[in-house]
Structure 1
Amino acid sequence: MNVTAEQLDALQELINIGVGRAASLLNEMVDSHIHLKIPFVKALTAEDAYQELATRFHDDTLASVKLGFTGSFYGTAGLIFPTDSASTLVAVLTGEEPGSADLDAVKIGTLSEIGNIVINGVMGSLSNVLKQHINYTLPVYLEDTIKNLLLSAHESQSKILLAQARFTIEQLEIIGDIILIFQVGTFDALINAINGEMGVIW
């Protein structure tokens, strides 16, 4: 199913609502003020998403938090950062010095919590506004290549929503990506749900 500009705008609006709620929760947890914005959303094949991310992130390895979702839609949701950006984000939020041994010890837990809050905010926004039921698995932290994060066998034919996420904290801008991987068939169900609620979103 092809996606229109209006449908992508609606998806971006829903995702921005979700990350806005996530930012509010994160601000309650830390002393720093976090502004979280989604400047664009794209609907891509796995191969196209890989090409886009490979051009932007030249790291061999990315830090990611992923969780699975089932229900009206099923697939995988993830939040990914270059490893340096992930370390910087954790250092700012926890007060640990970049490069310290203690930072590595807290990074996994901190990023897992950030990923869990952001992804649940996004999926909760989709679920609530579109009136669809979604279940989630527990978040999993991993560091891997872009290719392995995107192009596993069962995801190669999937449709991917790629949303750039900009975290602005105390004049520091950190860019990551929210990736929603919809397994074959369920992306059409998402777009049909968007069409049904377009008036509510706007």
Structure 2
Amino acid sequence: MIPESIVLAELERDALTEIVNIGVSRAASSLRKMIGDQVFLSVPSIEVVSQKRAARLISEREVTDLVAVRQDFSGPFSGRALLIFPETNSLELVRAVTGGELSAQDVLDMEQEALAETGNVILNSCLATMANMLRRSLTMTIPEVLRGTGASLFEVSEDGKTDGLVLFLYIDFAVRSRDIRGYIAMIMDLPSLAMLKELLGEFIERVVGEDGI
């Protein structure tokens, strides 16, 4: 059960979706420069769910193993950011990023490096934009590539004691006309989500104040 104190009101959810969309459009622009081709990214939905529910949401949608790029962030709100792809999509992404001209073996050899770089661009853009628009600063660790199931990526414990919450974003991702779906997830504890909610409230007040002039 999500505590009432951190449930996002409709306006807060809209504001966060807008902020994250600006972040991913900046990421798309950076990736476009990196690979010299059109990149489309959008975030159609945002939910706050338990770690267990986040793992289940991905397991319901994806039957293959998952690949994720992980970066921890700290500041006024802290947590762990994950950019997650189904394994089949991750190789498609590497082909797109490397121009589609490599052999199958070369794609596999380059996968780790290309994924880390792509994850770094996308997660950094999202988090830096959030921090900037909320007038705060965040520190991020270097990206790490992980593989596993939804349960292992979201660190769901068998004893049911997993109590973190996940800001869960589904992203549509198209590069070089390849449709690649993925997910951005930010695992945060209650104090961090409460702080994020507070900062979103301040952001909305600023925007409303400016519009009201």
2:85 corresponds to 1:106: no
1:34 equivalent to 2:42? Answer no
Distance 2:148 2:53 in 1: 18
Q: Does 1:20 align with 2:8?
A: no
Query: Superposition pairs for residues 140-151 of structure 1, below 5 Å?
Result: 140-151=144-155
Aligned partners of 2:84, 2:134: CA distance in 1, in Å?
A: 25
Which residue matches 1:56? 61
Picking from 186, 189, 194, the partner of 1:188 is 194
Name stretches of at least 5 consecutive residues in structure 2 with no aligned partner: 1-5, 209-213
Structure 1 residue 165 corresponds to structure 2 residue 201: no
Residue segments in structure 1 that go unaligned for 5+ positions in a row: none
Report deviation, 1:199.
3.9
8 A contact 2:56–2:150 mirrored in 1: no
CA, structure 1 residues 3+89, in 2 after alignment: closer, same or farther (shift >3 Å)?
A: same
- Cα distance in 2 between the residues matched to 1:130 and 1:76: 18
8 Å contact kept, 1:91–1:103? yes
For 2:196, give the aligned amino acid: L
Is 1:73 equivalent to 2:77 in the alignment? yes
TM-score relative to the length of structure 2: 0.88
Aligned mates of 1:201, 1:177 — CA distance in 2: 28
Poorly superposed stretches of 4+, deviation over 6 Å = none
Contact kept, 8 Å, 1:88 with 1:98, in 2: the verdict is no
- Contact 2:41–2:173 at 8 Å: present in 1 too? yes
Partner SS, residue 38 of structure 1: strand
Q: Provide TM-score, normalisation by structure 1.
A: 0.93
CA contact (8 A) 1:97 1:103 kept: no
Deviation at 1:95?
A: 2.6
1:45-93 deviation per Cα after TM superposition (whole angstroms, max 9, x unaligned): 111111211111112x201000101111111001000000010111122
Which of 179, 184, 187 is the equivalent residue of 1:178?
A: 184
2:141 is the counterpart of 1:137: yes
Q: Report the alpha carbon displacement of residue 200 of structure 1 after superposing the two structures with TM.
A: 4.1
CA shift digits 1:161-189 (9 cap, x unpaired): 11111111233211000001112311000
The answer (yes or no) to whether the contact 2:12–2:200 under 8 Å persists in 1 is yes
Counterpart among 90, 93, 99 of residue 95 in structure 1: 99
2:211 equivalent in structure 1? none
Task: Sort the Cα spacing of 1:196 and 1:11 in 2 relative to 1 into closer, same or farther, 3 A.
Answer: same
Give the count of matched residue pairs.
200
8 Å Cα contact 2:52-2:156 kept in structure 1: no
Once the two structures are aligned, what percentage of the paired residues are identical?
A: 27
**Structure ID, larger Rg:** 2
Tell me the distance in 2 between the aligned counterparts of 1:8 and 1:98: 41
